[in-house]
Structure 1
């Protein structure tokens, strides 16, 4: 796929469109022309069938997840939906498969494709702009976000995983180890002037995480991407999309992700307190865990540095790197100052 990704973005999109058109024949019904919604990690299309029903067709990035890992993601989503959580439904293909492999001449490798039910609503905000609204509106919104996170964790704690279920793990090794899941933040040139600070913080975090542990009251399946773009507001409720990063991890890592892009904004305290209150209305969140929020915010920040380091050629990475570096340095300094 190296040759494919060397193509200009417009040419990649044109070729992906052909794959999307070919993939639709694998699902029952007749569909209108697919409309590209997003092309970043995955290519996501809006499609409508001849009855007017709307769906999301996802073409997954080559070799990002194994077939078993993607199937596991979809199985968990289907179980959450069946349990009544506000997540997309999974639409089986004609043969009943939750995921299919599709190949067309325009793309050199077969790619994984799935179809999800469309959730109406709008994102509650964006990474760049944050969220808008009066303080009481923001608080009410994030109380719902906290409840949704707690419901998801409660479901994961009791759900019997299917045979062959496999997902990656957001552990100390997966974030701070030699081969982090999202790339090596240490290799980011812009971080070089701050390496001594970051190395001290990483050493302290490894010790603290070992003590914190991975017992079932604090560690399990998580969504791992509760960012504003993945939280939709519609029909008076918050809905959750994009389980691409879902895996095993600390519940506090989940909550830190929900808070991360509010850090440094005037709304941070409101969002933080509302998120915790909403979570605690569904399942326990002891102060013994919550007091480690600074640790998990810093862990989350390091993953974003790894993300931009492995995508340094993209416009998004170039635009976000200064923000991620400055936020990481601020979080590391605050984290060490508290120890």
Structure 2
């Protein structure tokens, strides 16, 4: 794994591929990707992203940046994409034994909303932002070589899910494994019944949690499109709700999120009726993520919480399906 020093050296080497003179890159965060704050001599600030090795192919990263650029041009509050000197949307930098993709995007003014500011009223605005993103995104003409992963039946329940095989998580008990498998089998039929028509399925952000939403003078802005891909629009809303499941005001948060979304892009009764399905599926992705990192302290510390949540949502989904039959 590349050290912070190695990544900083990569960032410094990459800066020469963009127009302008830049100061030293400052590491802002290093989680899935390493994000550096860089300032140009005219004072403009940018985010330089050194991507984790092996997550996105060149074609997939080019497609992510293309989609972000088109959303920005359509007036959606997302970071602007800054092409390199040669016009490419990202560059590849090889330094010593480390090779990474690097891109530059505009630095958005604003700050993460945080727990205190993310009550029901905030979720009404977030629902509206998600709806605008979906609505505009569905109108963008994608090039023939556009490539992104899919949060579809294969990407969630297939042999090689996007975030890993959740049923292989070692920490699952026999009863938990059986419950999750029963719900997964039901979910396959549920997804087939719901379908992938253009009003239900398209490009989504796929990670509109609080850390990835900034607020600036009352306006919400979406950042971090690393997990964006094709998926169900209700999966987007389920992602937001899963992060709020244990809040005392969850019911009102859910209502405000759906109302906010519907104020821009109408939801049908069938869409809302399938929310328990997508809540369960979103919960399984976190188990898959932990399964691929089972040896880490993060997996050990968070496995019990995510397993409990996934099992609760599995039981709720199965009960919901039983009531509908």
Common fold: TM-score over 0.5 = yes
Q: Work out the CA distance in 2 between the residues paired with 1:288 and 1:67.
A: 37
Counterpart of 1:79 in structure 2 is 70
5+ residue gaps, structure 2 = none
Q: Work out the CA distance in 2 between the residues paired with 1:36 and 1:317.
A: 25
Query: RMSD value over aligned CA atoms?
Result: 1.2
Question: How much has 1:49 moved relative to structure 2?
Answer: 1.0
Q: Does 1:166 align with 2:150?
A: no
2:244 to 262, 278, 282: 262
Q: Work out the CA distance in 2 between the residues paired with 1:103 and 1:29.
A: 21
Question: How much has 1:162 moved relative to structure 2?
Answer: 1.9
The aligned runs of 1:111-260 (5 Å cut-off) are: 111-125=100-114, 131-133=115-117, 138-193=119-174, 194-260=176-242
SS in 1 for 2:128: helix
The aligned runs of 1:280-319 (5 Å cut-off) are: 280-319=262-301
The range that moved more, 305-314 or 57-66, is: 305-314
Q: Work out the CA distance in 1 between the residues paired with 2:230 and 2:42.
A: 39
Q: Work out the CA distance in 2 between the residues paired with 1:303 and 1:174.
A: 10
SS in 2 for 1:189: coil
Question: How much has 1:150 moved relative to structure 2?
Answer: 0.6
Query: Contact 2:167–2:181 (CA<8 Å) still a contact in 1?
Result: no
Query: Contact 2:120–2:249 (CA<8 Å) still a contact in 1?
Result: no
SS in 2 for 1:96: coil
SS in 2 for 1:207: helix
1:17 to 8, 33, 56: 8
1:316 to 1:164, Cα distance in 2 relative to 1, 3 A? same
Q: Work out the CA distance in 2 between the residues paired with 1:162 and 1:283.
A: 25
SS in 2 for 1:232: strand
Q: Work out the CA distance in 2 between the residues paired with 1:38 and 1:270.
A: 33
The aligned runs of 1:41-120 (5 Å cut-off) are: 41-105=32-96, 108-120=97-109
Q: Work out the CA distance in 1 between the residues paired with 2:295 and 2:10.
A: 25
Question: How much has 1:216 moved relative to structure 2?
Answer: 0.7
Q: Work out the CA distance in 2 between the residues paired with 1:293 and 1:234.
A: 30
CA offsets per residue over residues 204-258 of structure 1, 9 Å max, x none?
1111110000001100111101111001111211110011111110000000011
Question: How much has 1:334 moved relative to structure 2?
Answer: 1.2
Deviation beyond 3 Å, 4+ runs, structure 1: none
Question: How much has 1:110 moved relative to structure 2?
Answer: 2.2
Q: Work out the CA distance in 2 between the residues paired with 1:314 and 1:115.
A: 30
Question: How much has 1:31 moved relative to structure 2?
Answer: 1.1
Question: How much has 1:94 moved relative to structure 2?
Answer: 1.0
Q: Does 1:278 align with 2:268?
A: no
Give the TM-score, by structure 1 length.
0.92
1:321 to 1:239, Cα distance in 2 relative to 1, 3 A? same
Q: Does 1:324 align with 2:306?
A: yes
SS in 2 for 1:26: coil
Q: Work out the CA distance in 1 between the residues paired with 2:256 and 2:276.
A: 17
